[in-house]
Structure 1
C-alpha cells in the first residue's frame, strides 16, 4: 500500500510520480498539438527531441532521489507523451483525485494504474461526468485550495481551458473543510504569451509564505490582487510576460527550503537564493517547449504532514 497525503505545495516531499519521456511518438503534427507553445515550435522546426527531453527529466529524477524522495515512474505506453504527470491525477489531503482531462490524453492514466492499485479505493475520488479538472490548476495550500478555471464561455471556446466551473464545484463539495478560492485565467489557443494554460503557469507558492506571480495570467485583476495581499507584496516575486512564457513560475519544491528550478532562470534563481532557498538547477528548457516544466512533470503522492 502507498500512504498518500498532500496538504500544501512545499512541505518535505516523500513520494512522487515523475513523468517519462520514453516512446513519445516523434514530433506531432500541428493538428495533433493542443497548446499554442507546442504549435509554435512544431511550425518553427524547434520542437524538442525525445533524447534531449529524456535527459532533462532524468536529471530531475537524480535530484529528487538525492533528496531521499521515492520516485515512481509511469509504465511506458507506446507513442504516448507521458511527461506531464501532474494533470492525470492529484492528491488533496489523503484523497487521490482521478480527474476528467482532455480526451486526447485519457490513455495516460493507464501508465500509473499500478500506483493506483496500491492506494485504497476508499482514498480515491473520481471526478464525475461534466466536471473537468487538470492537476496543473489545483494547488492545496493548508486550509485553502487555490484553483485556476474558465467560465462556460471561455471553456467552450478554448482548447487550453482545462478546468471548468463544475470542476471547481466538485472540489468544493468533496473538500468542505477547505476554503476553495478559484481564479479565472487568461486563455489563448494561438498566442503562448497570452495564455495561462494552468494556474501553475502564472502562480506558485514557495517556502512558508512566498510566491511567484505573473499578473497577466489572471483574467480579473482582483484575483491577482488577492494573492499579492494574501502572501504580502514583500514576499512576492512578480515575473514578466517573457519569464511566464519560459515558465518561471513552474518550479517545484522538494521542501520548504529546497526548490528545483530551470538552470537558465537567472533572475528567479537569484531571488530564491536571496530569500534563503537552496536552488537545485536542472536543464529543462527543451521540455518547456511543450508548455510544461518541473511542477507539470510531477504528481506528489506524499508530503510530510504538519
Structure 2
C-alpha cells in the first residue's frame, strides 16, 4: 500500500508528483494585475497568449527537457516520481479562460497524512487539479490518509479584480514544519478565508496554522521563504513585511533581495536535509548553502522560471519522512 505523509519541507523526499508542461494563459490574464508577480521580461514571453506548444514549439521543447533533467535528479536521489496525466481536449476547451497543468505544487498539498485539494484564484488554473485525480485514485485513495477539498470559490462580480471572496488556498503558500504550518497571503493567491478554513480543518489533528503576510509582488510564500534543513532557511526579508515568523527567528538565514526572489531564487527544493536543488543562475545561493554542509545540485530551469515557478512549484510530495 502507498504511504502518504509529509513531515516537513526538508525530510527525505520519497514520493513526489512532478508537473507536466502544459499551459495556455489567456491574453486577459497576461494584461491583468493578477500577474504582477512576473518580471516584465517574463510577461513579454507569454504575451502571445494561447498554448506554448503552438506559438513557441522550440521553447516548449526546452521546457520539457528541463523537467526531464529535474526528474533524473529526483530519481537519482531515490524519489519515486509520479506524473499527472495530460489535459484532455474537453478540459482545455471547458470554459475559455485558458488552462494549466504546469505547477503541481498549487492545486493540492500534503500536511502530515492530510491530502488537500486547493482552491485556485486565477481562472485559467481552476481546473488544474483534474489531471491529478488519477494520481489520487491510484496513490491516495488506497493509502491510510485523509483526502479532502477546499470549498469551491464563490462567483465574483463582473470586473471584480479580487476574483471574489474565495476561499482561495494554494499549495505554494503552504510550508510544513512538523505540527506547525505557515500560509502566505499576498493578495495574489491564498486569502484569509482560505487560511481560516485550513486552520479549522487541521486543528483537530494537532496542527497550528500561522498567516505570513507577503509583499504584493510575491505570488506565494515559497517565493519568499524556504526551509533548507532544520535550523537553516533562505528568505527574502523585503518580501516579508512582518519579518520571518517567530518560530523561525533563531534559525540561520541566507537572504536574497526582492529582484532575485521575483526570479525564483528562493524556490529551490530540498531533496532531504543534506541535498538541495537550484538553478545555476543562483549559484551564489548554492555556494552559501554548501557552507552549511548541504550538497547542491544544479538544473537549468530558465524556461520554467519564466512562467512564474521553479523547483518547488513543479513538485508536490506525497511522502517526506525520515
> Which TM bucket (shorter chain)?
0.7 to 0.9
Tell me whether 1:148 sits opposite 2:201 in the alignment. Answer: no
Contact 1:37 1:290 in 2 (8 A): no
Contact 1:260 1:280 in 2 (8 A): yes
| Counterpart position of 2:53 | none
1:125 maps to which of 148, 160, 171? 148
Unpaired runs of at least 5, structure 1: 156-160, 188-194
For 1:123 and 1:228, how far apart are their aligned partners in 2? 28
Check 1:270–1:128 CA distance in 2 against 1; reply closer, same or farther (3 A cut). same
1:167 maps to which of 162, 173, 194? 194
For residues 136-191 of structure 1, the C-alpha deviation after alignment (integer angstroms, 9 at most, x for no partner) is: 000111121111014xxxx4xxxxx211111111121111112322111121xxxx
| Counterpart position of 1:158 | none
Matched residue SS, 1:294: coil
1:81 Cα deviation from its structure 2 partner: 3.2
For residues 85-108 of structure 1, the C-alpha deviation after alignment (integer angstroms, 9 at most, x for no partner) is: 000100001011011112321222
2:249 maps to which of 229, 236, 254? 229
Tell me whether 1:248 sits opposite 2:276 in the alignment. Answer: no
For residues 28-69 of structure 1, the C-alpha deviation after alignment (integer angstroms, 9 at most, x for no partner) is: 454243523558346644777211111111110010011111
1:197 maps to which of 207, 219, 222? 219
With the length of structure 1 as denominator, give the TM-score of the two structures: 0.85
With the length of structure 2 as denominator, give the TM-score of the two structures: 0.81
| Counterpart position of 1:182 | 211
For 2:191 and 2:46, how far apart are their aligned partners in 1? 32
Unpaired runs of at least 5, structure 2: 48-55, 93-98, 153-165
Contact 2:14 2:320 in 1 (8 A): yes
Matched length:
281
Q: How much is the aligned-residue C-alpha RMSD, in angstroms?
A: 2.2
Contact 2:9 2:176 in 1 (8 A): yes
Q: Runs of 4+ in structure 1 displaced over 6 angstroms?
A: none
Tell me whether 1:216 sits opposite 2:238 in the alignment. Answer: yes
Tell me whether 1:8 sits opposite 2:8 in the alignment. Answer: yes
Moved more, 39-48 or 264-273: 39-48
| Counterpart position of 1:192 | none
Check 1:105–1:168 CA distance in 2 against 1; reply closer, same or farther (3 A cut). same
For 1:196 and 1:38, how far apart are their aligned partners in 2? 9
